[in-house]
Amino acid sequence: MGGSSGQTSSTVYQSNLPEYAKPYFEDILKRSQKQSLQPYQAYNGQRIANQSGMTNQSYQNLQQLSSAGLPGINDAMSIYRDVNGQANQMANYQANGVTSNYNAQNFKPSSITAQNINPNQYGQFANSDAQTVTAGQWNGQQADQYMNPYMQKVLDVQKNQAMLDYQRAQIGRNDQAVAAGAFGDSRHGVVDALSQESLLRNMSDIQATGMNNAWTQAQNMFSGDRNAQLSADQGNQSADLTARQLGIQSLGQRLTAQQANQGANLTAQQQSELARQFGANFNNQSMLDANTARMNAQAQTEQFRQSGQQLGLGALQQQQAAAQGLVGAQGAYTGQRLDISNALAAAGQQQQQYGQSKLDMAYNDFVNQRDYGKQNLNFYNSMLHGVPVSANTDVSQYQNVNPFSQLLGAGLGSLGLQGQQ
């Protein structure tokens, strides 16, 4: 009687690198392990370039310029205050009056009565007056009537545009100050003050020019209307005078006779009065001459005093011009110092960039030298991965034998053989 043997079989697949490639892959693994165990190597060189001497000098120049302030502006303001105070005193100047103490002798001339000629008897033209022609006067009321009522709105638009241009330019100046690192310092304040002064002067010029043009145009329009009206009135007056002259000519001959008689009478009376007035005039002339001499002396003294005032005013104007020169010189000096500082800063920046490029090159050389082994392994690895390598596959078949099953089978077989005997 036999039993199951208990044997099983299995197949094992094993892949191996080809023998010609195996040493290279093992070599790269060993070298990679060795490279990974290398300690960290720090870079001890300088990474950031130092600021150049020119850059530091530009900073010092700006600091000195800021600390120095604006002495020229301060001196100019002091001169302006002095000039203003003295000008106020001159504004209250009052000329001394030149008075006369002359009193003419109280002379009463004799009454000379001419023969009365009654104009009413010579018709309507005797007491008639010519038509009066008057020209209109230019004044503020006429200006308001002829000036453009929308003129101020036009000027406001121009001033608003000037303000808008100033604000746009202010943004650019602020950006430039920020870029130059000068925002908020005295240099920025000087630029803002000059810009505001220019804005106020521009707006004042706009208002003054607009008002002057409007005034001139209104005056020209008024003059045109007035000339037209005056021409019409003069034409009417000329026609009226012509009519009156024709009437007056008719009265001339009658008046001539009466005037001749009247003239003779007046001549006689005048001769008598002239003789009496001669004595009175002689005395009055002497007193008048003395008073004239005294008044001339007063006038000359006052002229000398006014000349002194004029000289003082000329000196004040020269001081004012000197103050304006100080302001201009201060602005030019500050601008030159700023230009020099900017040039030093630009040159220093170039030097610093050149130094930084050398430091960057040194650091890159260090990294390339430090990672030279890794770069070679990467190159080596890329080369191996590019080689077409196919793994060898070995197939092995095994039978699994149970020893207990074999022993049991052997025992049963022996028992069987013994029974058959």
Q: Exposure string (b/e) for 240-260, b if CB count within 10 Å is 16 or more?
A: eeeebeeebeeeeeeeeeeee
How high is the pLDDT of residue 361?
A: 92
pLDDT confidence of residue 320: 79
Burial of 58 (0-12, 13-18, 19+ CB in 10 A): buried
Location of structure tokens 């010189």: 329
Where residue 6 falls (left for φ over 0; alpha for ψ -120 to 50; beta otherwise) is left
Q: What is the pLDDT of residue 313?
A: 78
What residues of the chain score a pLDDT lower than 70?
Answer: 1-9, 12-15, 90-98, 100-112, 114-131, 133, 135-136, 138, 142, 247, 250-251, 253, 387-421
**b/e burial code for range 149-180 (CB count within 10 A of at least 16 → b):** eebeeebeeebeebeeebeeeeeeeeeebeeb
Q: What's the pLDDT at 216?
A: 86
Which two tokens mark 67?
């600390």
10 Å CB burial of residue 274 (0-12, 13-18, 19+) is exposed
DSSP assignment letter at 391: -
Structure tokens at 13: 């697949």
Distance from C-alpha of 77 to C-alpha of 83, rounded to nearest angstrom? 10
